[in-house]
Structure 1
Amino acid sequence: MILHRPVAKLRHVLERFGAMEERLVDLQARLQELQQVVADGQHRSEQAAAGRFEELRDSVHLAARRSGPTRRPTRALFLVHHIEAWDSYHDLVRAMRNAADFEPIVVSIPRRFPGADGFSYEEEIHRGLDARGVPHLRLPAHGAGEALRLIKAIDPDLVFRQSQWDVDVPDDLATHRLTFTRLCLIPYETMNLVENVPGPGGVNTAVDNPLHQAAWAVFCANDLMFDMARTDGVRAGDRFRVTGHPKADRLRAAAPSWPIDGRPSGQRRRRIVWSAHHSIGTTWSNFGAFPAMAEDMLAWATEDQDTEFVFMPHPALLTIVHSPESPVSPDRLVDWRAAWEALPNTAVFTDGDYAPLLVASDMLITDGLSMLVEYQLIERPIVYVERPDHRPFTPIGEMVRRGTHPVRTVAEARTVANPFLAGQPDPLRLQQARNVERLFGQESSVPRILDTLREMLAAERSDPVARPRDPAPLAGADQTAVLGRGRSQRWSDWLDEESQTSAG
């Protein structure tokens, strides 16, 4: 059959196909829009459900805390991920074990410092606690939720964390997971010297991190830190208590110990501790000067055989080199350490129990931060190698800086250090003494912390404040005897013992 007007009909068919194609494209776009609407709705539903779950969890935790501490003695759990800062808690745990109204339990946990690949280091923390004579339970890596279940099985009245940084500890032990109990904090640093990189919304992370906001008690060294919390904290510092800081007590009472054997003749060489901060990049506080100092310090130690040098890196410096933004590669650090440790007058100190080391030294070379104030407790020269781009000091930091000798380079540090090494007195010693008196006072912090805990617990129990026997002297006591249980334990062993005790 011959089609009538075939060209026109073909054009009509093509137009219909084109219209169908346009409709298909439009339908596809509508389907994508619908999928996005469904996804957005699901996301909002999940957010709402998560919000309701968090609200329910927070309400349950609040109810648990409001029930009040009824157990006597008060059970205090110490979560230890930062063995290098154990001095903040050592004497407190000892005093609690020597008191009738507290039952301290120490637990070693994994950590993840900047640059580290996942959580680890619990074995080293365990060994460090053992070396210090601290009986403890061990919590290595566990499955999701297991750590928290085990902590709840212990049923602590108080939980002490070592720092406000949730990112450093497993998620099970983050602030929002621990609010079922009374969270306490003695900061790993004695006080805040620098304006921290602000948190979300401009939060001052030195006094207003989630842990500060959720804490039952935060113990601070002085009224200046309390004023910072009152000004910058969303809770206006209502959980902060001025008690002094246990690190100051440890430094004042420490017996000197030095890791380098002296000359065969017995003649003592001059001693320098070089403390290096971890913030060697440009994204945090920017105090770390190790990249600029490393080779010059190696040359100084090589050339000056009449002086002994102990390199004391911040523990995070050893992990930060593995991060992409680090200006120092892991291989460079390894090679540098090998050259440093090959010298007869050098050592590397990573033990963490640094108070005896500082007391045994003659001088400190440092780029900051905590050492700037802690070393002033022993009133010896501090040569501060200062980066020009560091975060601004707080008023406390400005006061502390006046007790140091700021320089820009290692060459300048040598020029400043040489007269002191030759026996010249430090003209800043009186300034350091004034700083220490203003920032730490003279009173021991541990009795003040214990008294504050007793008063707060008594208020929740509606009891008169108990005044049990005074703790035995802390300095010079035998650690194993004072601390009681003379061994560390796995969780399962401890739980078995608790079950048998309850059954008996």
Structure 2
Amino acid sequence: MRSFIRRFGELEREVAAVRGSVGDLHHAVSEVRGSVEGLIQQHSAALEARLDAGIRRVNDSANYAARRAPLTRRRIRVLFLVHHIEAWDSSDALVRALREEADFEVVVASIPRRFRGMAELGQEEAVHAGLEERGVAHIRITLADDRDRLSLVRAVDPDIIFRQSQWDADVPEAFSTENLRFARLCLVPYETINIVQNMPMDGVTNSAVDTEFHRAAWMVFCASELNRQVAERDGMRGGAQFVVTGHPKADHLRSVEPRWPIVHEGRRPRARVVWSAHHTILDDWTNFGVFHLVADDMLEWARSAPDVDFVFMQHPALPPVLNDPASPLTPDQAAEFRAAWDALPNTAVLAGGDYGPVLAASDLMIVDGLSMLVEYQFMGKPLIHIERPGHRPFNEIGEIVMRGAHTVPGVASARRLAEDFFDGAPDPLEQVQRETITRLFGDEPSVSRIVAALRDALVSELAR
């Protein structure tokens, strides 16, 4: 019996040893499996990267060949991709002028967009409606698949493509810089002129002049020699693709007829105020937006001054930003503000339309940034800038622009200053504004210069 117990103990130890060995084997197998899977993933990733690089090289070669192919058509086909209907004034006169030229054929296309805070691409319907309202003949690109979108653009077979901005993230992947390189890429900036030191991005120190789109562009049309000098200094291509022509929006603002959206039977208000709100209310871009800080105070001002009209002009990217989880205002709070604002008899909201007539009909602007700090100075009227602490610094052009604006810290001080102007006080900065606009935009109309630059560049290509 004792020998049996002893033998049983030995067997138990042997089984335990075997189990340990089996466990060691399982562990070893798991390690081997993990290593193999890791190697497979590494090789798969490397293979995928090599494949992507190969595809890109083939695309680059094909695009380069297409781009360098001689022009054989009697009429140069120009495609305008439109996603930012609110900035159409930067393109409208150019499109109309090119359609009058016998050697150009123009196609305008409405496309979807995606501003920050939008969950997905959309709003092509709004772009389409805006073009229709302005009487601009166009096609609609409503296809859902990027391959189909790009195929349609290739079927249009443009020699030149104008996109409204350098930001690839705002448009479908089909219309990214990489996918459009087969044509001569052109840009009339949606903004008249950049006035801030933009946030650095990966491989880009100045996104106003040197994004991937700028680098791939055939021509970028800029407002002034100051613009071109910035591109020469900060751009990878030394500004070689930048052409000084003035800006179509400047031409528009100089000639626009006034029209005010609020009508009072039998009387004119004591004053007409435009309140412009930028979309940068978060803390990760240029940080000029103060809508979240001043909305209640502006509402109270409008309530307590029924003899003054207020038009709220929000940047088109502001509403979607309010849906961003990082927004300092919730969508419900924004909706509550809007309902209270809309309920007043002396207020209105301008969204999506041509804002030039409203600027021309107004007496004064309250603004945080950015484009309106420039554009309102075409009106030669008081411009009051509510400054947000910690915003991105102005660049050298911005320093010139800000000489024409009255900078204040909040609504209370803006209101005190505005009341002086309402009572007839002259604006001491009016002459400064005139000098700034002349210095930055010149006096010549821009569209004829852009058309001439296009034609000259095409003639040079044909002569090669």
Q: TM-score range by the shorter chain?
A: over 0.9
Contact 1:285 1:391 in 2 (8 A): yes
Shift of residue 6, structure 1, vs aligned partner: 4.1
The answer for the alignment partner of 1:440 in structure 2 is 441
Post-superposition Cα deviations, 1:195-236, rounded to whole Å, max 9, x if no partner, equal 111110353111111110111111111112111111111111
The answer for the alignment partner of 1:317 in structure 2 is 318
Shift of residue 129, structure 1, vs aligned partner: 0.8
Q: Which amino acid aligns with 1:250?
A: H
Please give the TM-score of this superposition, normalised by the length of structure 2. Answer: 0.97
Instruction: Kindly report which structure 2 residues correspond to 1:201-216, keeping only aligned pairs within 5 A, or say none.
Output: 201-216=203-218
Quick one: distance in 1 between partners of 2:332 and 2:10? 78
Shift of residue 142, structure 1, vs aligned partner: 2.4
Quick one: distance in 2 between partners of 1:183 and 1:285? 27
1:450 is aligned to 2:451: yes
Post-superposition Cα deviations, 1:381-429, rounded to whole Å, max 9, x if no partner, equal 1000000111111111111111100001100000111111112110011
The answer for the alignment partner of 2:376 in structure 1 is 375
Moved more, 55-64 or 130-139: 130-139
Quick one: distance in 2 between partners of 1:151 and 1:5? 85
1:328 is aligned to 2:329: yes
Quick one: distance in 1 between partners of 2:70 and 2:378? 39
Quick one: distance in 2 between partners of 1:25 and 1:100? 77
Quick one: distance in 2 between partners of 1:186 and 1:131? 22
Shift of residue 9, structure 1, vs aligned partner: 4.3
Q: 2:172 aligns with which of 170, 173, 176?
A: 170
Contact 1:110 1:141 in 2 (8 A): no
Q: Which amino acid aligns with 1:353?
A: D
Quick one: distance in 2 between partners of 1:267 and 1:462? 61
Contact 2:270 2:422 in 1 (8 A): no
Shift of residue 72, structure 1, vs aligned partner: 2.1
Contact 2:196 2:393 in 1 (8 A): yes
Q: 1:231 aligns with which of 230, 233, 242?
A: 233
Shift of residue 437, structure 1, vs aligned partner: 1.1
The answer for the alignment partner of 1:475 in structure 2 is none
Shift of residue 28, structure 1, vs aligned partner: 1.1
Quick one: distance in 1 between partners of 2:30 and 2:340? 66
Quick one: distance in 2 between partners of 1:289 and 1:366? 9
Contact 2:257 2:357 in 1 (8 A): yes
1:78 is aligned to 2:80: yes
1:395 is aligned to 2:374: no
Quick one: distance in 2 between partners of 1:88 and 1:124? 18
Higher RCO structure (Cα 8 Å, ≥6 apart): 1
Q: Secondary structure at the match of 2:460?
A: helix
Moved more, 82-91 or 393-402: 393-402
Quick one: distance in 2 between partners of 1:456 and 1:71? 16
The answer for the alignment partner of 2:462 in structure 1 is 461
Contact 1:278 1:317 in 2 (8 A): yes
Contact 1:222 1:244 in 2 (8 A): yes
Tell me how large the CA RMSD over aligned residues is. 1.4
Contact 1:313 1:350 in 2 (8 A): yes
Shift of residue 315, structure 1, vs aligned partner: 0.5
**How many positions carry a matched residue from both structures?**
462
The answer for the alignment partner of 2:419 in structure 1 is 418
Shift of residue 140, structure 1, vs aligned partner: 1.7
How much identity, in percent, do the aligned residues show?
Answer: 49
Quick one: distance in 2 between partners of 1:202 and 1:267? 50
Shift of residue 70, structure 1, vs aligned partner: 2.1
Q: 1:189 aligns with which of 191, 194, 200?
A: 191
Quick one: distance in 1 between partners of 2:19 and 2:300? 82
Name structure 1 gaps, 5 residues minimum: 464-504
The answer for the alignment partner of 2:385 in structure 1 is 384
The answer for the alignment partner of 1:295 in structure 2 is 296
Shift of residue 141, structure 1, vs aligned partner: 3.8
Shift of residue 5, structure 1, vs aligned partner: 4.3
Quick one: distance in 1 between partners of 2:439 and 2:71? 36
Quick one: distance in 2 between partners of 1:85 and 1:69? 31
Contact 1:85 1:352 in 2 (8 A): no
Q: Secondary structure at the match of 2:146?
A: coil
Quick one: distance in 2 between partners of 1:68 and 1:89? 27
The answer for the alignment partner of 1:144 in structure 2 is 146
Please give the TM-score of this superposition, normalised by the length of structure 1. Answer: 0.89
Quick one: distance in 2 between partners of 1:328 and 1:284? 17
Q: Secondary structure at the match of 2:115?
A: coil
Contact 2:386 2:407 in 1 (8 A): yes
Post-superposition Cα deviations, 1:351-406, rounded to whole Å, max 9, x if no partner, equal 33111111111111000100001111111110000001111111111111111000
Post-superposition Cα deviations, 1:32-87, rounded to whole Å, max 9, x if no partner, equal 01110111001100100100000110110000010022212111100110000000
Post-superposition Cα deviations, 1:228-260, rounded to whole Å, max 9, x if no partner, equal 111111111111111111110000010111100
Q: Secondary structure at the match of 1:39?
A: helix
Quick one: distance in 1 between partners of 2:165 and 2:396? 22
The answer for the alignment partner of 1:366 in structure 2 is 367
Shift of residue 190, structure 1, vs aligned partner: 0.9
Quick one: distance in 2 between partners of 1:13 and 1:54? 60
Instruction: Kindly report which structure 2 residues correspond to 1:28-47, keeping only aligned pairs within 5 A, or say none.
Output: 28-47=30-49
Name structure 2 gaps, 5 residues minimum: none
Quick one: distance in 2 between partners of 1:225 and 1:355? 23
